[in-house]
Amino acid sequence: MIEENDAPSPLARPGARRNARRTTARPESQRIGRPVDGGALVGRLLDAPTRRFGFADARLVADWASIVGDEVAAVSQPLRIDRRSRKLVLRVRPAGALLLQHQEPQLLERINTHFGIDLVWRLELVQGPLPPRVALAAPPPLAAEAERAIAQAVVDIEPPALRRALADLGAAIKRRTPLA
């Protein structure tokens, strides 16, 4: 019969010492469940489908409007990158093809600056219709009672620009629908 004092120590098992060390808190830099940037996750999700079309990185498609500007993004869409010839193939509305042809040096500079490398040397323009842009719905109107409550909450805040910004933030929060 084994008495309580004769029971084997938990450290006597193989690997027990290693497991005993794991019970201590890990330093912040080694934690497994640290917060992750949502944009990085979306980029990783889009990387596999976009590689199929010749893109090394989904950032070109996702950031297209911020890379080339709203005017150019409204008439063009990146289709694929030919790695051998370093050519970016763009689908362009027929009316915008001449604009892009004239702006090719500036567009190449913007794209390469965005990525920090000489990713693209030439543009190939393929004329055709673009998929329709999805327009965001206008936010629902705020109830008069909610507007008064927000105005009352920020009435003493100075300067006026800060007061307007906080009132807009409060209105945006009030408009949100609860998650179901």
In a domain, 118, yes or no: yes
In a domain, 16, yes or no: no
Report the predicted TM-score, pTM, of the whole model to 2 decimal places. 0.47
Range of the domain at 63: 42-127
What is the distance between the alpha carbons of residues 73 and 66, in angstroms, rounded to a whole number?
8
Residue with tokens 């990783």: 44
Residues 104 and 59 in one domain: yes
Residues 48 and 121 in one domain: yes
Q: What is the pLDDT of residue 123?
A: 92
For residues 122 and 110, the answer to whether their CB atoms sit within 8 Å is: no
Residues 47 and 122 in one domain: yes
In a domain, 56, yes or no: yes
Does pLDDT of 179 surpass 50? no
Residues 161 and 116 in one domain: no
CATH of the domain at 72: 3.30.300
Residues 117 and 67 in one domain: yes
Residues 88 and 122 in one domain: yes
Residues 116 and 156 in one domain: no
| pLDDT per residue as tens digits for the range 110-122 | 988 988 888 889 9
For residues 172 and 138, the answer to whether their CB atoms sit within 8 Å is: no
Q: What is the pLDDT of residue 48?
A: 56
Contacts 24+ apart (CB under 8 A), 151-160: none
Q: What is the mean pLDDT of residues 122-137?
A: 83
> Amino acid letter at 134?
V
Least confident interval from 131-135, 140-144, 170-174: 131-135
Residues 74 and 150 in one domain: no
Residue with tokens 């030919």: 82
Strand 76-82 versus strand 87-92 pairing type? antiparallel
Please tell me the total count of domains within the chain.
2
